[in-house]
Chains A and B, each alone.
Chain A
Amino acid sequence: MTDDRIFVGRDTELTQIENAVSDWPTQQAIFINAAGGLGKTRLLQEIYQHYHNYQSQQKHLLVGNIIDFDDQAYHIARNVRYRIAQILGEQAFEPYLQKLLQLHHLRAKGISQRHLQQEIELINQNFVTCFNQITKYNRVVLLFDTTEALIEPHDGAYLSKIVGGLNNCVLIIAGRNGEHIAEFWQSQIGKSGQLINLSPLSTLASEIYLQYKQAQHHLTLETDLTTKILLLSQGRPILIDLTVEWLTRSMSMSWLAELELEQLQSLPPEAMKVKQDIFEAQLVSHIVNIRTPLDRLILAMSRVYPLDPGLTQALLMVSYETAVQLLEQVLGYVFIKQLPDQRISLHDEMRRMVSQYVWPKVDPDQQRQRRDSRLAATYLSQQIEETTEKLIQAENLTIIAPTEQLTHFLQKDALEGRLWHLKGQQLSHVLVVALNNGFKLFIDLFDQALTHQLPFRDILLTAIRPYLDQLTVDQAYQVNIRQLWYLADRGQYGPMNQLASHLASQANLSLSHQAEFLIQRAKAEIRLGHLLVGIATYNEAVSICHQHGLVDKLLRALTGRGWVYENRGNYDAALEDYLTAFTLSVEQNNRPQVAWTLNNLAYVNAMKGNQETAFQNSREALELWKKLEFPKGLGMAYKTLGEISWRFNQPKHAIGYYDQALDIFTQTDNIELMSTVRCQMANTLMMLGQLDEADKHLKWALENGPVSLKPEVFFWQAQAYWKQGNLVAARDWFQKCRQISQQVGELFNDYKSFVDLTALMWEFKNCHQWQDLYEAHEKQYTNTNNEFFLRLRGSFYRHIGDLAIRDGNYEAALKFYKLGLPLIATYEYYQPYIVETQLNQTYERIICLDKPIVAKLGQDLALFWKNRQDLLAKSPNVLAKFVDWQYHRED
């Protein structure tokens, strides 16, 4: 856009922004909300220009050019971050970029999706750290435009993830959905922002603007005509721009000339709206005649964008030189925008008007649109080939100097990003041309977009979503199931659950599809910690599969349900499910599934104490994997054997098995599993008292494993120190575990560490800290109510009760015991932590108290337990314990 364009009527907004920019060192978020054509982009341009000029005088203010979400490349968060890095200087972001490079290497080593996501979270925080390093000494202004191009309802979340944690900066975010994003900002991330509802230009401002435009175009309009234009454009600069533009091009505006001004001025609002719609239509109606290359270009660009000379050449069937000239010449028009990569696009309001008023007229049968898409798809196909070729060349470069590695990686990353962007564009056009072909392409591309290309799956899903209703039932199913997989891979279990529930309840669904959606829903429920609901959903799936002979799905449903039962300590039910799954796998001759199921059976039998059966199952799995020659399966079988051995107090055997598992995972370079096995080895070595050896394994896992495994490692390290009696080190490592867990969003390890820290307070004799711990707990850990957390909560309250009673606060202690013990009794299944075991520990702690206190406690708790029939039925022994306390029988 040219710099000599007038800018009127936004003094209030500019003042508001000026105040925000001056408010060092806060983060200020300003959301500019307005309908199309009111001048959001122009405002951003003005802000950029003003502070860019200011920047050259004031060294501590940095402003970046507008990041426009109309460019789909910015729908990938990494690209936005990289753009910000480019704006502020890549050197300052080198740690972040290096982490990206490391992540790239890690991906190649088969890290699981869950850990990958956590890894990415950490790297993104690294970005924030680098940014905040810059803003220690500089204030940064970042400008974002066309936020409505982001897909609701994730638009607010997307933005906040990228910029939410940035310090000392002003974020100016403009879009038609500005209000929605502002609300999200306020409600979801708890920060206040300023909402500017950009209103149409005032009458005076519009008049000034129109006068200026006339002067610019050497045009003099009659007073009546200007009044009509002002009335109809209703303060929308884009309409004033277009009107003047077309009048100077002698476009026939006879409709405008023939309109009676008095009549227009006296119209009621509804009738005026009708006239305004007609006015808009008139502004683009000349394009219907397709008289000029500009008409052709606008038509093409309204559907295929952004354009570069090659694509223009393909669409308009002109020479490359002509295409270059055309694009250069249109740049001066107000309705054309140029992206940072020099490609051009229509102003989105112009695009809307052309789509609404012109296309239905020039293309009633939509054949032209198909043809344009066909040409675009062909061109994009060539571009994809060329980019793929370049990427292969880049990847084949094996000798790269260490100092060049980052640059090389970034170039490759950019190429890959461009490649996927082209694929996404290609898909959207192939879908227009031939839906079936588009569907097939979608499946191909989606399945190609592997772990590190996950964000591109979102682009592909977005492209096909509008066509869901037109697909066949099977095709729609294929798309929906992939949507669910994608949500699972991104850890978005809430949306996954919602979608799966909706899909499972659709009418006219085939039973097979219904069963699959139920299985996915169950998975989501489990991930969200709603185990009972998950079981119920699996039950439904199992029932359908049983009744209708859907063997493959039955297998998966049974395995899934078995896992839930196993986690809830319902080992008999788990066994039943696994056995049925095993039988089915054998009947199906699905040998890998047989092997996996044997593994599961081994584990459950171990939990039930069936030692021989557990070992037998595990060995059978091992033999089968050997025949199948599947290293991962083999490694997992050895790992399970190790766990079983550990469980049955055979640590030396356990170590042997872990060693074998480690060998296999080392050969396959599976860092994640290597790290997990080392953690388990460390645990086992601790049992053997070989603490130094244990330490080495933990250190290895710490140094080499994915960052997302660190919570696990830190936890085991803390446990190791605790076992060594080094309480201070244990406490430090628990705190580190909490920190790292919070960074990667690993709530479970965070909570676990917190509970163990509470337990440690007893060892440090810091009983008086119970109040602080309680408050911290209530603030941070009471939002999540899944079973895993409820178990920990029960333990926490029990520990707090111990501390409180020791601190002399009987009433508080009683309250905590009444809160905690039922939770433990209901949800805890693991032997070392069941309610009876925990009560034993409590008794050991309180035995030093005065006998009347212990007796009273026993009495009160006995009464409490007696009055809870559910608890009494579950754990009658607990009542006996309390009575023993009451009468000091435990002594």
Chain B
Amino acid sequence: MSNYDQSKISFLLTQVFTREELVFFCYDTPNWQIIYDSLTPHLEQAIMIERIIDHAAQTHQFPILLAWAEKYHQTEYHQHAPYTHHEFQPDKYNSLYIDQSHIKQKILEPHPYHLIDAPAGYGKTHLLIELESRLLNQGYYGLFITLTPNLTLLEVVQWFFRECGLIYEGDATNIKLMGLKLGTLLRQYRRPSITQRGLVFFIDFAELNQLHLFDELLTEFIPFVEKSLRVDSFFQGNPVSFRVICAGRYLASHYNSFIRPPIQLKVISLVPFSYQTIFQLVTKHLPSMLTDDTISQLAAHLLFISGGHPGTVSKLLALYQEMGGLPPDEFIAFFEAEIKAILTTIFSDFQQSIPHDLQTVVMQLGIFRYLSYNLLSQLIEADHIWGYDDSYHLADSLTLTHLFDWDESGRLLHNKILHSVLLPRWQQHPNNIELAQQICAAKFKNSTTHLPEMWLIEYLYYTLLCNMLSITDTASRQKLRDHFLGYILPEALQHLINQRNRHEEKNALRQALKRDNQFRFMVNYCLRDMQYNNEPYTMLIQQIDKFFRLDRSFIRKNHLD
């Protein structure tokens, strides 16, 4: 799977290069003859560029393409750079996929306070430990505390004193004073250590119900430690000389409710694993003699079962290792019960860790990858959502949690985390998937809906999910593929262009598909032959192209232009 940002590269080629230049590129460049041969004088430039991109992706020749682009239009090339996807969105990245450059860029940038926020099982603690290791290696004096249940603020503060080997003699009821004193004593007795690079607190909120402690640390303790340290010239001139990195579940939404936060935490959310991450994880942790196909197949199964949940992936991988590295399909079939047990345990943990006030909403809305005001209103009116009677209020409550983000159009709320995590659960409750499928169908068939191509994709996505539940073997999967590509897809496309500008819809759909790796995965997984690969998705794209070509001919033939 390419790590290149294909839409950006496509945009560069479209905006900057002439048709002639592209033709010459295909002609002049080795291994591009096949594309050159496929070009016709009347072929639209957009389609030409699509073929170029696809060829580059399939043959891993993006570096060649980009080098050529840079050579011939350097200024514009740099203007539109970069051209690689990071697996991680800004401020979000995976804990188990540790990329030094991202850590340095994000967590180690000149900002002193961070909050790593994610649901249970995302590896927050692991990440915190990794960061501790790196910062200590850089020369920071670090203190790592895991907050166990029922700890009081006083106990936490006293722990800090003990860990530093300091004694506090004073009013133990005044936490602010204790904070000031800690800073003073550290300067007095630990100055060489803390001024080598700085001082850092790692605070792991391991349990859910520690909001009170979180508030108290932020308002009563940390600011006063900082105040006391800033008296020292070392700490005064260096903004990251004193750092605090917290990790916890659903703390971001609580933190966001501060109008004037006592300290400014930079929130970093963790996202589920992508296919590539799991692929690399498998490659890293399993014996190197496994074939690429096996790794690929296993990674696909792991992603589908776990929804990308890091904790689940980790446990499944451990189980696979324990079972001695069977063929992936057999592993899934023969150890279904064990796998189910893992999922049940993890889901139970996950569900319990959701804050009470979010539970209902999360469970009701988690099935949807995308939400809109209109959809929320529908769900509210149909009594599918309780506790809210206004879609805007509900949407605001969702974005507060950092679990939902508005997309660029301002029309869709993207559910990046919950859907994946809850996917295994939805598979046990087909009614919910069918409901989602019906809702999405109604949306894209409605000629007044905005972004119908998004809802079409959702409809297809849930259709695949629905059907997957009844798939038991390769033969039934092949039947599904034929039915999906031969009937479901064209019928849906027909509805899409009904009463709409088909040219606009075609382009919009193509763009939307390119951005949706999760859908691509679902297509490849649900419609695969035996081996997981990109073939089903390629067929899907071909079917879509074919539909629009036939449609255009039909229209021309019947003078419908």
Contacting residues, chain B, for A292 (C-beta < 8 A):
256-259, 400
Residue of B nearest to A363 (CB): B410
Contact assessment for B411 and A252 in the assembled complex, using a CB-CB cutoff below 8 Å: no
Q: Mark B234-259, 1 if CB is under 8 A from A, else 0.
A: 00011100000000000000001111
Please report the C-alpha to C-alpha distance between residue A360 and residue B400 in the assembled complex, in whole angstroms.
20
**Is B392 part of the binding interface, using a Cβ–Cβ cutoff of 8 Å?**
yes
Q: Mark A201-231, 1 if CB is under 8 A from B, else 0.
A: 0000000000000000011101000000000
Contact with B239, one of A220, A294, A362 (Cβ below 8 angstroms): A220
Please report the C-alpha to C-alpha distance between residue A289 and residue B267 in the assembled complex, in whole angstroms.
13
List the one stretch of B5-13, B378-386, B401-409, B454-462 in contact with chain A.
B401-409
Contact assessment for B410 and A364 in the assembled complex, using a CB-CB cutoff below 8 Å: yes
Contact assessment for B260 and A220 in the assembled complex, using a CB-CB cutoff below 8 Å: no
A364-B409, A364-B410 known; A291 and B399 CB under 8 Å? yes
**Is B261 part of the binding interface, using a Cβ–Cβ cutoff of 8 Å?**
yes
**Is A326 part of the binding interface, using a Cβ–Cβ cutoff of 8 Å?**
yes
Q: Mark A729-770, 1 if CB is under 8 A from B, else 0.
A: 000000000000000000000000000000000000000000
**Is A510 part of the binding interface, using a Cβ–Cβ cutoff of 8 Å?**
no
Contacting residues, chain A, for B256 (C-beta < 8 A):
291-293
B179 to chain A minimum Cβ distance, whole angstroms, is 16
**Is A290 part of the binding interface, using a Cβ–Cβ cutoff of 8 Å?**
yes
Please report the C-alpha to C-alpha distance between residue A289 and residue B401 in the assembled complex, in whole angstroms.
11
Residue of A nearest to B265 (CB): A250
Q: Mark A352-396, 1 if CB is under 8 A from B, else 0.
A: 000000001111110110010000000000000000000000000
Contact assessment for A371 and B239 in the assembled complex, using a CB-CB cutoff below 8 Å: no
Contact assessment for B264 and A250 in the assembled complex, using a CB-CB cutoff below 8 Å: yes
**Is B373 part of the binding interface, using a Cβ–Cβ cutoff of 8 Å?**
yes
Contacting residues, chain B, for A326 (C-beta < 8 A):
259
Contact assessment for A218 and B266 in the assembled complex, using a CB-CB cutoff below 8 Å: no
Contacting residues, chain B, for A254 (C-beta < 8 A):
90
**Is B215 part of the binding interface, using a Cβ–Cβ cutoff of 8 Å?**
no
A298 to chain B minimum Cβ distance, whole angstroms, is 11
Please report the C-alpha to C-alpha distance between residue A317 and residue B387 in the assembled complex, in whole angstroms.
12
Please report the C-alpha to C-alpha distance between residue A330 and residue B411 in the assembled complex, in whole angstroms.
28
**Is B60 part of the binding interface, using a Cβ–Cβ cutoff of 8 Å?**
no
Contact assessment for A220 and B259 in the assembled complex, using a CB-CB cutoff below 8 Å: no
Please report the C-alpha to C-alpha distance between residue A371 and residue B373 in the assembled complex, in whole angstroms.
11
**Is A288 part of the binding interface, using a Cβ–Cβ cutoff of 8 Å?**
yes
Please report the C-alpha to C-alpha distance between residue A397 and residue B294 in the assembled complex, in whole angstroms.
91
**Is A296 part of the binding interface, using a Cβ–Cβ cutoff of 8 Å?**
yes
Contacting residues, chain B, for A289 (C-beta < 8 A):
399, 405-406
Contact assessment for A294 and B259 in the assembled complex, using a CB-CB cutoff below 8 Å: yes
Contact assessment for B393 and A317 in the assembled complex, using a CB-CB cutoff below 8 Å: yes
Contacting residues, chain B, for A367 (C-beta < 8 A):
373
Please report the C-alpha to C-alpha distance between residue A311 and residue B113 in the assembled complex, in whole angstroms.
35
Please report the C-alpha to C-alpha distance between residue A294 and residue B255 in the assembled complex, in whole angstroms.
12
Contacting residues, chain A, for B110 (C-beta < 8 A):
222
Please report the C-alpha to C-alpha distance between residue A220 and residue B236 in the assembled complex, in whole angstroms.
9
Q: Mark A477-498, 1 if CB is under 8 A from B, else 0.
A: 0000000000000000000000
Contact assessment for B90 and A252 in the assembled complex, using a CB-CB cutoff below 8 Å: yes
Contact with A371, one of B258, B267, B390 (Cβ below 8 angstroms): B390
**Is A329 part of the binding interface, using a Cβ–Cβ cutoff of 8 Å?**
yes
**Is B102 part of the binding interface, using a Cβ–Cβ cutoff of 8 Å?**
no
Contacting residues, chain B, for A248 (C-beta < 8 A):
264
**Is A332 part of the binding interface, using a Cβ–Cβ cutoff of 8 Å?**
yes
> Which of B110, B264, B266 has the most A CB atoms < 10 Å from its CB?
B264
A286 to chain B minimum Cβ distance, whole angstroms, is 11
**B side interface size, CB within 8 A:** 35
Please report the C-alpha to C-alpha distance between residue A248 and residue B112 in the assembled complex, in whole angstroms.
11
> Which of B392, B395, B399, B450 has the most A CB atoms < 10 Å from its CB?
B392
Contact assessment for A368 and B399 in the assembled complex, using a CB-CB cutoff below 8 Å: no
Residue of B nearest to A318 (CB): B393
B198 to chain A minimum Cβ distance, whole angstroms, is 14
Contact with B373, one of A249, A330, A368 (Cβ below 8 angstroms): A368
> Which of A219, A316, A325, A362 has the most B CB atoms < 10 Å from its CB?
A362
Q: Mark A55-97, 1 if CB is under 8 A from B, else 0.
A: 0000000000000000000000000000000000000000000
Please report the C-alpha to C-alpha distance between residue A285 and residue B360 in the assembled complex, in whole angstroms.
30
Contact assessment for B402 and A361 in the assembled complex, using a CB-CB cutoff below 8 Å: no
B144 to chain A minimum Cβ distance, whole angstroms, is 22
Please report the C-alpha to C-alpha distance between residue A293 and residue B253 in the assembled complex, in whole angstroms.
10
Q: Give the size category of A's interface with B.
A: 20 to 34
Contact assessment for A291 and B402 in the assembled complex, using a CB-CB cutoff below 8 Å: yes
B277 to chain A minimum Cβ distance, whole angstroms, is 23
Contact assessment for A252 and B406 in the assembled complex, using a CB-CB cutoff below 8 Å: no
Contacting residues, chain B, for A294 (C-beta < 8 A):
259
Contacting residues, chain B, for A252 (C-beta < 8 A):
90-91
**Is B396 part of the binding interface, using a Cβ–Cβ cutoff of 8 Å?**
yes
A326-B259, A329-B259, A371-B390 known; A288 and B239 CB under 8 Å? no
Contacting residues, chain A, for B264 (C-beta < 8 A):
248-250
A711 to chain B minimum Cβ distance, whole angstroms, is 60
Contacting residues, chain A, for B259 (C-beta < 8 A):
292-294, 325-326, 329-330
Contacting residues, chain A, for B111 (C-beta < 8 A):
250
**Is B230 part of the binding interface, using a Cβ–Cβ cutoff of 8 Å?**
yes
Contact assessment for B392 and A365 in the assembled complex, using a CB-CB cutoff below 8 Å: no
Residue of A nearest to B258 (CB): A292
Please report the C-alpha to C-alpha distance between residue A296 and residue B396 in the assembled complex, in whole angstroms.
8
Contacting residues, chain A, for B406 (C-beta < 8 A):
288-290, 361-362
> Which of A290, A365, A371 has the most B CB atoms < 10 Å from its CB?
A290
A460 to chain B minimum Cβ distance, whole angstroms, is 28
> Which of B111, B238, B256, B395 has the most A CB atoms < 10 Å from its CB?
B256
Contacting residues, chain A, for B373 (C-beta < 8 A):
367-368
Contact assessment for B90 and A329 in the assembled complex, using a CB-CB cutoff below 8 Å: no
Contact with A368, one of B91, B258, B392 (Cβ below 8 angstroms): B392
A722 to chain B minimum Cβ distance, whole angstroms, is 76
Contacting residues, chain B, for A365 (C-beta < 8 A):
411, 450
Residue of A nearest to B391 (CB): A371
Please report the C-alpha to C-alpha distance between residue A296 and residue B110 in the assembled complex, in whole angstroms.
28
Contact with A329, one of B260, B267, B390 (Cβ below 8 angstroms): B260
Contact with B392, one of A219, A325, A371 (Cβ below 8 angstroms): A371
Contact with A249, one of B91, B230, B239, B261 (Cβ below 8 angstroms): B261
A247 to chain B minimum Cβ distance, whole angstroms, is 9
Please report the C-alpha to C-alpha distance between residue A332 and residue B280 in the assembled complex, in whole angstroms.
49
B366 to chain A minimum Cβ distance, whole angstroms, is 19
Residue of A nearest to B260 (CB): A329
B260-284 residues with Cβ-Cβ distance < 8 A to A are 260-261, 264-267
Q: Mark A281-318, 1 if CB is under 8 A from B, else 0.
A: 00000001111111010000000000000000000110
Contacting residues, chain B, for A291 (C-beta < 8 A):
256, 399-400, 402
Please report the C-alpha to C-alpha distance between residue A365 and residue B113 in the assembled complex, in whole angstroms.
38
Contacting residues, chain A, for B411 (C-beta < 8 A):
364-365
Contacting residues, chain B, for A293 (C-beta < 8 A):
256-257, 259, 400
Please report the C-alpha to C-alpha distance between residue A289 and residue B89 in the assembled complex, in whole angstroms.
15
A252-B91, A292-B257, A317-B390 known; A361 and B410 CB under 8 Å? yes
Residue of A nearest to B237 (CB): A220
Q: Mark B422-463, 1 if CB is under 8 A from A, else 0.
A: 000000000000000000000000000010000000000000
Q: List 8 A-B contacts (CB under 8 A).
A: A220-B238, A290-B396, A293-B400, A326-B259, A329-B259, A330-B259, A368-B392, A371-B390
Please name the 10 residue pairs, one residue from A and one from B, whose CB atoms are nearest each other, closest first: A329-B259, A250-B266, A292-B256, A361-B410, A290-B399, A317-B393, A250-B264, A220-B239, A364-B410, A249-B264
Which residues in B have some Cβ–Cβ distance to A below 8 Å?
A: 90-91, 110-111, 113, 230, 237-239, 256-261, 264-267, 373, 390, 392-393, 395-396, 399-400, 402, 405-406, 408-411, 450
Which residues in A have some Cβ–Cβ distance to B below 8 Å?
A: 218-220, 222, 248-250, 252, 254, 288-294, 296, 316-317, 325-326, 329-330, 332, 360-365, 367-368, 371
Q: A292-B259, A293-B257, A329-B260 are in contact. List 20 more A-B contacts (CB 8 A).
A: A218-B230, A220-B238, A249-B261, A250-B264, A254-B90, A289-B406, A290-B396, A290-B400, A291-B399, A291-B402, A292-B257, A292-B400, A293-B256, A293-B400, A326-B259, A361-B410, A363-B410, A364-B409, A364-B410, A368-B392
